[in-house]
Structure 1
């Protein structure tokens, strides 16, 4: 043993065979690290600008996603291009044929693309189980998004929204003017959306406990921030953010575990989504995965949209007046006694009235989504064969990812004055969102509609009707001074997903006089 160790520590005494083995191993490792599969001849041309060895197109992941896509598309003669993220082959598509392929093709898979490009999860081992949890998630979510569930929860949803408005009304006066109070809509409205979402797809034990509500929202926010680009390139790499996600996922699991165990111990079942999942036989692991998935699907976008909608209203007096007139008209129509306050009347509305009597709020939300859906979205070709990109002669190779720039749809040339927030573009006589196929993707399109659309519309109608109906509000600074924004309020288009503004925005508000 001693002689062997001595020889091992003296490379000059190593045999030729040992050296050949070491060099071969090193070369093999380097090859595995640096090698990328060659692009098929009929794949779109490789856009090499900004490509880093091993890592690929870092700009796509860090800071310039939309700009990177637009620059690559301008450089392409066909409107399509290829690039790499690590060894992963991505194909950017655009134009009529690109939109048709992306939204209509049955050969393109979204769940696996999400898993590999956002969370760095490895590819499913077989076609049979590639959509395993996705199917479980969808089958559980669809019943919760039905009208019957909204009807069951309506009193609680209106009660939550009204209570949140009462809390805003009771806030301390602003420093600048005691007649006004101040809120950051990307905190206050974000929290209301979270409570309504938890009420609908989570647990009443959380929705009705302010401390637990803030605690779980904090867990979700940290979980959402803990993504890992390194994990996307090297799925086997044990990154810090990967373990942070596991940690925050475990913290959320402990919350739901305690609720489940308490219900089992007392024998008292809940009348909520959590009980629905328990009764379906989902494991704790799948329940937590469902909750995280449901929050990702609804909280981020709706939470941000809720804040921006009110901000955009402050900069558009015409639409502020229209929405106020709509809300006041509904209140006047359903008021049965002079003693009823605005909030009292809103609390009596039926689910049919919430869904059918606020069309202008719906259009304002539609336009807000157009501005608040940034970046690019993706699919993966898992069909087992190359998929043609229209009549371009190019294909998406089997195993490659398809990337579609959101602006190619949401800011297409069919939108007049497209950088202006203008809900009237959706009026029947204008119908700018229907001028070409997939002209608007805010609620999904083609084979991938948004399962939570009805709930998102309902919660936005609730929040906006109560807010517009009860308060006057203006854009302000944190002290309550009315100000005119000194720069664009439009969300950074290079973001990967909807995000709170980098700089805080504030609204000053006061109760309306009856």
Structure 2
């Protein structure tokens, strides 16, 4: 490699380092600072792996005003991240309605790619409606109706394990839990199709496995993993959307979560958002 190329690379690295230090500069948190809360300390370790200088302590005045304890503050580029630990901090995290849990999870989990017409249009109103529908689906009346089909799913899945030999409990139990989740949040058409459930599971595995420290810290770079997540997100949307079309065209009414959303005349993005199994 020529000396000119080496010099250019060194200059670029220095500029990148300077920019990162500038973005991670200590800052004072006020009551008006938008916060992105992460309930697990591992996320702080993730950020520290990028730059130890990114961490700073929350000011005493802000801590007193917010009545938080065991909090650590760090800067994630243009976002302020508060990592909580301890009983009082967890209570503040779950009880404070001014904090945006969805945004915090989206930032530190890498978030699913923003696909136009699929995820990019999930504004605050739609997200709030999705959360409202999820609460409705967890009510006793709805869950009681699912007991019989869930037990049937359990028997069917466990019968495939056989009565002898060895199995990986982490993999098999996860498959069973995923089947139950599909039954609870999606449609009967999807839950009854073992091959389709397996395909959905593989797509969500892609979304989980392709989230790395690099993709979280630099989500705008076109890594191959981001492309795979983009394609997986698009296919999940297509599967759920196709099921909705089939239900609407058939005119059949079924006792499942999808029918509840259709009867409420929710738009397609809300239906897909509620059926998101991740």
TM-score, with structure 2 as normaliser: 0.67
CA offset at residue 135 of structure 1? 0.6
Flag the 1:271–1:236 CA change in 2: closer, same or farther, 3 A: same
Give the unaligned 5+ runs of structure 1: 1-26, 44-56, 123-128, 175-181, 297-514
1:161 to 147, 154, 157: 154
Secondary structure of 2:211's partner?
A: coil
**What is the distance in 2 between the residues matched to 1:103 and 1:265?**
42
Task: State the match for 2:126 in structure 1.
Answer: 133
1:266 aligns with 2:250: yes
Whether the aligned pair in 1 keeps the contact of 2:93 and 2:99 (CA below 8 Å) is yes
CA offset at residue 79 of structure 1? 5.0
**What is the distance in 2 between the residues matched to 1:121 and 1:218?**
15
1:206 aligns with 2:193: no
**What is the distance in 2 between the residues matched to 1:191 and 1:233?**
30
Task: State the match for 2:201 in structure 1.
Answer: 217
CA offset at residue 160 of structure 1? 1.7
Whether the aligned pair in 1 keeps the contact of 2:24 and 2:76 (CA below 8 Å) is no
Task: State the match for 1:115 in structure 2.
Answer: 106
Task: State the match for 1:478 in structure 2.
Answer: none
**What is the distance in 2 between the residues matched to 1:148 and 1:58?**
37
1:35 to 6, 19, 22: 22
Flag the 1:94–1:254 CA change in 2: closer, same or farther, 3 A: closer
Instruction: Tell me the alpha carbon deviations over residues 242-284 of structure 1, each in whole angstroms, 9 at most, x when there is no partner.
Output: 3322211221222223322222332223321122223333333
RMSD over aligned Cα, in angstroms? Answer: 3.8
The ranges of structure 1 where at least 4 consecutive aligned residues each deviate by more than 6 angstroms after the TM superposition are: 27-31
**What is the distance in 2 between the residues matched to 1:216 and 1:120?**
18
Flag the 1:106–1:253 CA change in 2: closer, same or farther, 3 A: closer
1:60 aligns with 2:45: yes
Task: State the match for 1:348 in structure 2.
Answer: none
Flag the 1:116–1:58 CA change in 2: closer, same or farther, 3 A: closer
Q: In the comparison of the two structures, how many residue pairs are matched?
A: 230
**What is the distance in 1 between the residues matched to 2:201 and 2:96?**
36
**What is the distance in 2 between the residues matched to 1:282 and 1:94?**
38
Task: State the match for 2:229 in structure 1.
Answer: 245
**What is the distance in 2 between the residues matched to 1:139 and 1:58?**
28
CA offset at residue 163 of structure 1? 2.8
Task: State the match for 1:151 in structure 2.
Answer: 144
TM-score, with structure 1 as normaliser: 0.39
Taking the TM superposition and a 5 Å limit, the aligned residue runs for 1:207-356 are: 207-292=191-276, 295-296=277-278
Flag the 1:131–1:237 CA change in 2: closer, same or farther, 3 A: same
**What is the distance in 2 between the residues matched to 1:206 and 1:61?**
36
Task: State the match for 1:102 in structure 2.
Answer: 93
Give the unaligned 5+ runs of structure 2: 1-13, 31-41, 58-68, 114-121
**What is the distance in 2 between the residues matched to 1:142 and 1:79?**
30
Task: State the match for 1:83 in structure 2.
Answer: 74
Secondary structure of 2:253's partner?
A: coil
Q: Which structure has the larger Rg?
A: 1
CA offset at residue 204 of structure 1? 0.9
